[in-house]
Structure 1
């Protein structure tokens, strides 16, 4: 029986695909493109779109486990189709925002759809992706060797995408994870300034840190397009997780250290979580000019 990986070319999905291939599992990679980039030759790429559940019929044939990228709008239809096709286990790529109680619109509906299906389920809830920093800071580091940020001392625990994939793989391939929700963070609280220093160490080049206003940063991210533009208001504390207006003073006064210890992938894997320094080393070439 096959394992269907949705979001197969994403930051987490492509690592899930790779590890399943290494485990010699039969893998199907769902993509919206008829000519996907980065799918291993050993993997059957299937075309489909989670926003159009009817497009998944062929992809689900003969599948018994699925890694589900979160699309709240169609989650119940997709899960129902999976159940009818014979899928017995679903691992959801969710968010640590669900654990914190901030997310009721995006990932939580997907979790509930899976839980209420009667299928085996596991939720993987990453916090801040380390990869966000490549999307936000990569263009200016490559072009100018500079990061422009309004909050140099803001800090959190960025998580390596491979840690997220490791937990997903365990939940897909092993028993003992049914009904579990794993919240994943990185092992160290690091300020934005320290993260930039670690990236500089990894690429062997200095990176200047320019403190700019929140409005200036917003314009920079919007001009970059993609993830940076789409997420600028949330990442800069202008909007909350659901798109509502925030209290700027509350954002400024938020005490990162008050969060206390946070869970990492080690809870599931038994292996220490990867550090941000390791992530920076793994992605050093991505921060360098072509």
Structure 2
């Protein structure tokens, strides 16, 4: 019986797939197209789609443990609810679900409320799971790195309430640890929820300062204008996603993204090493560039 990783070709899913393979687990990567990326030896690819029920039933037939990641799409909730129902149908009782921090607080943000709906389904149906609630990914900054370097402006309107950004590598390592813990347990384990955060509280101004230090020249924060941010996003992608991201940024400005006391120590205990810092992430990004 294997661990099935959905979203296996994405940023988080690919890291998880490699991490599980390195740990000697039997891993199956759920992909839309075979051969799109190079997986480690021993990883089995299974082709399917989260909206294609027959392909999912086939994929779940030899699975003991499931990592469920649903991309931000208009039918995200449908995908997740179908996947969880089919997992129950297949007798899968070992699940790690990737949600988002403060899913219950950002109630007007579509993909936050979507993920919170899935969390409620997991709870109401008594599905044994680890619910991972990550804050803003540091790797999201790759989308704006060129703008930062070319124009000396940090354009993400994250405001001043404070965001505990987390490195995707730490997210993946924690997910691997939880998948292995559940997969290797003699029976299904109780449901737990983990807020995944980085070790620092960052603001638009402090993030700009980190880029200034790494680049050796001034980088300024562009400010809190979420309407302008939406317009920029809409120029490069669908309008529904641009609006969703605008609402998220407004929520970040209002509520911030920080975990409860004790979360960092708990995460570092799982990882076995300190959480990666934003300054180190920026130094790595600028060195590679």
Q: TM-score range with shorter-chain normalisation?
A: 0.7 to 0.9
Q: Where does residue 8 of structure 1 map in the other structure?
A: 8
Paired residues, number: 272
TM-score (norm. length: structure 1): 0.78
Q: Where does residue 217 of structure 2 map in the other structure?
A: 206
Indicate the RMSD between aligned Cα atoms, in angstroms.
3.3
Match of 1:84 among 76, 81, 89: 89
Corresponding position: 1:219 with 2:221:
no
What are the residue-to-residue correspondences of 1:234-253 with 2, within 5 Å? 234-237=247-250
Q: Where does residue 116 of structure 2 map in the other structure?
A: 108
Q: Where does residue 24 of structure 1 map in the other structure?
A: 24
Structure 2 unmatched ranges of 5 or more: 71-75
Cα drift, residue 118 of structure 1: 4.4
Measured at CA, do residues 195 and 50 of structure 1 come closer, stay the same or move farther in structure 2, by a change above 3 Å? same
Structure 1 unmatched ranges of 5 or more: 242-250
Match of 2:204 among 187, 192, 196: 192
What are the residue-to-residue correspondences of 1:46-65 with 2, within 5 Å? 46-65=46-65
C-alpha distance after superposition, 1:71-115 (max 9, x if no partner): 321333322322333423001101112354647731122223334
What are the residue-to-residue correspondences of 1:87-236 with 2, within 5 Å? 87-98=92-103, 100=105, 102=107, 105-135=113-143, 137-141=144-148, 143-144=150-151, 146-148=153-155, 153=160, 155-175=162-182, 178-202=190-214, 204=215, 206=217, 208-209=219-220, 211=222, 214=225, 215-225=227-237, 229=242, 231-236=244-249
Partners of 2:248 and 2:83 lie apart in 1 by 30
Partners of 2:257 and 2:61 lie apart in 1 by 48
1:95 touches 1:127 (CA, 8 Å); kept in 2?
Answer: yes
SS in 2 for 1:162: helix
